[in-house]
Amino acid sequence: MSSIFFTEDAYVMISAFYAISIPEFHMHTHTHGSCEIMYVTGGSCDVQCQGEDIHLRQNQFIFIDAQVPHKLSVLEGHPCAILNIEFQRCKEEGMIDLSLLQKNSEDFQKFCKQNSPFLVSQDLRSLGYALKDLITFLQKESTQKDYLASILFQRMLLELAYCVNENKQCTGMYYLRKACSYIEENLCETLKVPEIAAYTGINKSYLQLLFSRFLHCTIIDYVNQKRMERAVFYLTNSTSSITDIAFAIGYNSRQHFAHTFEKHYQMSPLKYRKLHSRTLVPDTGETQYVLEKEKMVKEIYLGREH
């Protein structure tokens, strides 16, 4: 018996399944020799895999590979409806044969290269319906050696592979955009990687991987880059003091800000301001000029009774 990613075993055996609404449940951490899919059709639940906490909502699912430590929790007062199936690769002929699926489906081939202990995704197409049809058939027929069982199971695997493959890119960009927005909105605060990751909803290692893969920098490098961009804007478009700018973009001292700025631009903030400042001091006295049809036609003195 082995992992779904161990493609040398051409057959699959279904070991358990259920479709149930759970009012409250707290499972001890355990492992088993089967792969498992938990799909939430209503409510929400919490799953812990290898020490990582995952919150699943309606139409979300988790795939857990064989021998991966995990547990399920459903809070009292927050019932959860779940479709669940457990299965394992094996060498036994006569069980569900995956050889043609492995040979002909690019989605399934790509999925099998994931080799991840667990995968979380939104249902992006029809995984929920595929699971429901498979479980309904198994419940009525009580056999997996039927040809229709094989077709339904392979359909379920195709939907699983599609969701995981598509969601990996989409979800990664979603989390990355969420983290970047949070950083930009909170530049004036003390930003810490664990807090950014917590807000984003993923662990800090995965978030750092997203920054490295798509932005080619660390999270802290990105924070500093955005602070420097904002500093440049303030230096060239305002008359705020260097100290005020430092505090406005999240530095707790003028010295720290100046040191970081000089590393980025090879000059001090003050020198940069002198070279690039575009600030103007508008002064029309007490006069407001009124334009009509793109032509100035009269002037009004502010404060005059109308």
The identity of residue 53, as a single letter, is D
pLDDT in tens, 97-123: 998 998 999 999 988 888 888 888 888
Which residues are CB-contacts of 295 (< 8 A; sequence separation ≥ 6)?
A: none
Q: Which residue has the higher pLDDT, 301 or 90?
A: 90
Query: Residue 45 in contact with residue 82, Cβ under 8 Å?
Result: yes
pLDDT in tens, 184-221: 899 988 899 999 998 888 888 889 988 998 889 999 99
The residues with which 12 forms a beta bridge, in sequence order, are: 89, 96
Closest listed residue to residue 202, CA positions, set 214, 190, 211: 211
Strands 295-301 and 118-122: unpaired
Query: Residue 84 in contact with residue 38, Cβ under 8 Å?
Result: yes
All structural domains of the chain: 11-166 (2.60.120.280), 186-306 (1.10.10.60)
Check residue 27 and report its DSSP letter.
P
For residues 88-93, average pLDDT = 83
Query: Residue 175 in contact with residue 202, Cβ under 8 Å?
Result: yes
* Vertex 113: Cα angle to 111 and 114 (nearest 5): 70
Confidence at residue 57, expressed as pLDDT on a 0 to 100 scale: 87
Confidence at residue 128, expressed as pLDDT on a 0 to 100 scale: 94
What are the contacts of 51-55 at 24+ separation with CB within 8 A? 52/203, 54/118, 54/120
> Which residue has tokens 């950014």?
196
Confidence at residue 221, expressed as pLDDT on a 0 to 100 scale: 93
User: Alpha-carbon distance 60 to 127, whole Å?
Assistant: 10
pLDDT in tens, 38-71: 999 999 999 998 888 888 888 899 999 999 999 9
Whether 140 shows a pLDDT value over 80: the answer reads yes
Which residues are CB-contacts of 207 (< 8 A; sequence separation ≥ 6)?
A: 175, 176, 179, 193, 196, 197, 200, 219
| pLDDT confidence tier of residue 161, bands split at 50, 70 and 90 | very high
| pLDDT confidence tier of residue 280, bands split at 50, 70 and 90 | low
- Strands, E, within 238-304: which ranges? 287-292, 295-301
> Which residue has tokens 């802290």?
220
| pLDDT confidence tier of residue 305, bands split at 50, 70 and 90 | very low
Confidence at residue 306, expressed as pLDDT on a 0 to 100 scale: 40
